[in-house]
Structure 1
Amino acid sequence: MTSSTFSVKSIVRPNILALKPYRCARDDYSSGVLLDANENAYGPALNPSSEAAASSSGLDINRYPDPHQHDLKNLIAKFRDVPGPEHFFLGVGSDEVIDMIFRVFCVPGKDAVLITPPTYGMYSVCAQINDVEVHKATLTLDGQFQLNMEEIEKQINEHPNIKVIFLCSPGNPTGSALTHESIRRVLTLPNYKGIVAVDEAYVDFIDASKEGTTATWVKEYPNLIVMQTMSKSFGLAGVRLGVAITTPEIASYMNATKAPYNIASTTSRVAQEALQPKGLDILHKHISVMVEERNRLLEAFKSIPGLGRVLGTNDANFVLVEVLDKESGKPSNDRAHKVYADMASRQGLVVRFRGTEIGCEGCLRITVGTPEENDVVIQRLTEQLAA
């Protein structure tokens, strides 16, 4: 698809096209004696010696934060090799990014989206909240969880009201990175004139020898939104920062629709610190260790009786593994759930039961922890499955 064959305006909700964004006080002036936003000029109601006061030192948290976050966007642009801040929308976690895509492009009660299960559950939750129909094109159920292009094309042809296709790569709960070739095929489907949203929450855990982010493709594809987060590889889940990388036109609609001050000053400061050279050094060290530990878990699971296949292509910071029935040797939801529940309630080890997801019969999703935590995982699973 090229810019000559795709018009963003043709798929943006009419009310969003007509929207006059709320102009907040900081849109006009951000320095001087600021008496324009009804802020509390006396400062925050915090004990000056408290930890909360220390952590917010120098942030003027009695003032509203920067509504545009250009400095933060510039740092992310440099890190992801994207031209500049005009390509970005920042949200309160990826969940706000997902919801914003619905609000900008999907007319409630009329439009639809396409998802590829097993996949991240918030796409369907946001669809229901926004009264948007969901169609499904199941991933290949051969243990690799790749796109079924024939089924995707079928859904597109049968449901012309599909406005957004959500692709999760690496997938959750699959851990599988989708091939770049297949993503390009979706982006260029001849009968599709909607948005393709590629959710790359786990992209930094893909092995360096494989295909990585599609973020730089936004210069090539006018219908692409790449979603990322600082919750996973950066270890900043508590600050809640999600990122949409897209064309300046799409970004402009998303930024016009958002709440004026959605990114907190504390979130911005922590994220900017993480994107400095020292922070990026730590990021790469942590990723390296997590990949090594992921590989150690994969190897250990091969020798634990009662475990079956490790599914997916193992490109995230977790492992999806089958628990087998003692008698039949087949994946068992009953046994997997019992192992999950007993480890959590009796042994203090909490993993995730994913057996209700299509293609994930008998599966536990286990996050890669520290070496010590992973030792506990191996020990507990061995004990549970020997019982």
Structure 2
Amino acid sequence: MIRHRPGILDIDRYVPGRSGPVAGPVAMLASNESPFPPLDRVTAAIRASIAKANRYPDFESRNLTEALAQRWRLSTDQVVLDSGSSSLIRNIATACTGPGTDVIYPWPSFSSYEHAALLTGATPIRVALTPDYRPDLDRILVAINDRTRVVFLCLPNNPTGTTVDHTALEAFVEAAPEDLLIVLDECYREFVTDPNSASGIRLLSRFDNVVVLKSLSKSAGLAGLRIGYALSSPEVCRLLEAVRIPFAVSSPAQAAALACLEHDITSELESRITATVSERSRLFRALSTAGIEAIPSQANFLFLPRQHDAATKVMHLANHGVLVRQVGSQEIRISVGSRSENDHLLAHVDALLTSSRP
């Protein structure tokens, strides 16, 4: 047997909602992807970059870093790029945690927080959501102790689609220790319509221990290219750069992201986000009218609690060409797809009404 770190094979691996090719017409509503393909000019930028695939990508992603810094009115040493936010989450854990330390996060939430903690030997600490499925900032604050190194907050939260008020988040950060890293995972922030919702960007000028994670997978439709970035203080960004894998962001990913930041393309992407938000509302109303409980969402998905025998329901929908995700023994998450995909789901909505209760 190969000698390896004890316990490494006991760590649960990340399980995707659905990946790889699928046969036949299918409503892809399991992975919170954009239903829209890249815009033509983005595709053209990707193709042009492939012509130089024999060369390594720009190690520092300089053009993209400068564009993102300008976009968020920050300095370039406050931006760190990587191959998706999941890589940044792991790098944060690598840089700041290890045996004898704690990582705190709401639960249920994005499973990569727990996975990253376990990989470094840190202790993952789950804090239950509030009764209305929001991150419980008060209970998280109580859970913080001398061992705590990182707090992850997914806002809006995956899989519930809920968030917290900005005033509550600001009060939480003010009350937390200054040497504690607070990671605000905003991969779904572009879909938020509540003006009172938390915004990590608004906190960066005040708190050096806040990190905001952004993704181009959801809002820009670049999930297949794997690119995300962190915004924080120069001190924190230096830590992330110290553990970053060399050449992590490919040339096509850099080219696509840079194209997405052009003004006219950004406007088109915002129109797509508006369309997704509109479909979110339509899907929520349709499910509610059918008698199916769904939690009001600020993301590009809906959370269905109290779905008894969820595994059977997910399988039934899959057999009818609708891919959704089971996120607990009695919970289902449904991504907001295109109008036709959502209609396909609604045509089989009765599957979500059946119950295995006696």
- What interval of TM-score do these two structures reach, taking the shorter chain for normalisation? 0.7 to 0.9
Between the aligned partners of 2:266 and 2:227, the Cα distance in structure 1 is 17
- Residue aligning to 1:77: 69
Equivalent pair of 1:138/1:148 in contact (CA under 8 Å):
no
Instruction: Report the CA distance shift for 1:65/1:152 in structure 2 as closer, same or farther (over 3 A).
Output: same
Using the TM superposition, give the Cα deviation of residue 337 of structure 1 relative to its aligned residue in structure 2, in angstroms.
2.3
Between the aligned partners of 1:174 and 1:300, the Cα distance in structure 2 is 18
Equivalent pair of 1:120/1:172 in contact (CA under 8 Å):
yes
Equivalent pair of 1:353/1:364 in contact (CA under 8 Å):
yes
Query: Does the alignment pair 1:258 with 2:244?
Result: yes
Equivalent pair of 2:307/2:332 in contact (CA under 8 Å):
no
The amino acid across from 2:91 in the alignment is M
Equivalent pair of 2:106/2:136 in contact (CA under 8 Å):
yes
Instruction: Report the CA distance shift for 1:342/1:222 in structure 2 as closer, same or farther (over 3 A).
Output: same
Using the TM superposition, give the Cα deviation of residue 166 of structure 1 relative to its aligned residue in structure 2, in angstroms.
0.5
Classify the secondary structure of the residue corresponding to 2:334.
strand
Between the aligned partners of 2:274 and 2:345, the Cα distance in structure 1 is 20
Instruction: Report the CA distance shift for 1:132/1:180 in structure 2 as closer, same or farther (over 3 A).
Output: same
Matches within 5 A, 1:107-186: 108-140=98-130, 142-149=131-138, 151-156=139-144, 159-186=145-172
Equivalent pair of 2:105/2:140 in contact (CA under 8 Å):
no
Between the aligned partners of 1:265 and 1:200, the Cα distance in structure 2 is 24
Matches within 5 A, 1:133-282: 133-140=123-130, 142-149=131-138, 151-156=139-144, 159-189=145-175, 191=177, 193-207=179-193, 209-211=195-197, 213-282=199-268
Q: Which 5+ residue runs of structure 1 have no aligned equivalent? A: 1-50, 323-330, 357-361
Classify the secondary structure of the residue corresponding to 2:99.
coil
Q: Which 5+ residue runs of structure 2 have no aligned equivalent? A: 1-42
Equivalent pair of 1:206/1:316 in contact (CA under 8 Å):
yes
Equivalent pair of 1:102/1:126 in contact (CA under 8 Å):
yes
Equivalent pair of 2:166/2:196 in contact (CA under 8 Å):
no
- Residue aligning to 1:13: none
Using the TM superposition, give the Cα deviation of residue 260 of structure 1 relative to its aligned residue in structure 2, in angstroms.
2.5
Instruction: Report the CA distance shift for 1:194/1:279 in structure 2 as closer, same or farther (over 3 A).
Output: same
- Residue aligning to 2:308: 333
Instruction: Report the CA distance shift for 1:190/1:206 in structure 2 as closer, same or farther (over 3 A).
Output: closer
Instruction: Report the CA distance shift for 1:147/1:57 in structure 2 as closer, same or farther (over 3 A).
Output: closer
Instruction: Report the CA distance shift for 1:384/1:246 in structure 2 as closer, same or farther (over 3 A).
Output: closer
Query: Does the alignment pair 1:375 with 2:343?
Result: yes
Matches within 5 A, 1:337-376: 337-344=311-318, 346-356=319-329, 362-376=330-344
Using the TM superposition, give the Cα deviation of residue 218 of structure 1 relative to its aligned residue in structure 2, in angstroms.
1.5
Equivalent pair of 1:97/1:244 in contact (CA under 8 Å):
yes
TM-score normalized with structure 2 length: 0.82
The amino acid across from 2:153 in the alignment is L
Superposed CA RMSD? 2.3
Q: Which has the higher contact order (CA 8 A, sep 6+)?
A: 2
Using the TM superposition, give the Cα deviation of residue 69 of structure 1 relative to its aligned residue in structure 2, in angstroms.
1.2
Query: Does the alignment pair 1:66 with 2:58?
Result: yes
- Residue aligning to 2:16: none
- Residue aligning to 2:299: 316
The amino acid across from 1:333 in the alignment is H
Instruction: Report the CA distance shift for 1:332/1:293 in structure 2 as closer, same or farther (over 3 A).
Output: closer
The amino acid across from 1:247 in the alignment is S
Equivalent pair of 2:155/2:185 in contact (CA under 8 Å):
yes
Identity among equivalent positions (%) equals 26
Instruction: Report the CA distance shift for 1:130/1:85 in structure 2 as closer, same or farther (over 3 A).
Output: same
The amino acid across from 1:100 in the alignment is N
Using the TM superposition, give the Cα deviation of residue 70 of structure 1 relative to its aligned residue in structure 2, in angstroms.
2.0
Between the aligned partners of 1:153 and 1:285, the Cα distance in structure 2 is 38
Between the aligned partners of 2:133 and 2:349, the Cα distance in structure 1 is 24
Between the aligned partners of 2:262 and 2:230, the Cα distance in structure 1 is 20
Between the aligned partners of 1:227 and 1:217, the Cα distance in structure 2 is 13
The amino acid across from 1:348 in the alignment is G
Classify the secondary structure of the residue corresponding to 2:104.
strand
Using the TM superposition, give the Cα deviation of residue 315 of structure 1 relative to its aligned residue in structure 2, in angstroms.
0.3
Between the aligned partners of 2:245 and 2:352, the Cα distance in structure 1 is 48
Using the TM superposition, give the Cα deviation of residue 185 of structure 1 relative to its aligned residue in structure 2, in angstroms.
2.4
Using the TM superposition, give the Cα deviation of residue 386 of structure 1 relative to its aligned residue in structure 2, in angstroms.
6.7
Classify the secondary structure of the residue corresponding to 2:156.
coil
Using the TM superposition, give the Cα deviation of residue 176 of structure 1 relative to its aligned residue in structure 2, in angstroms.
0.6
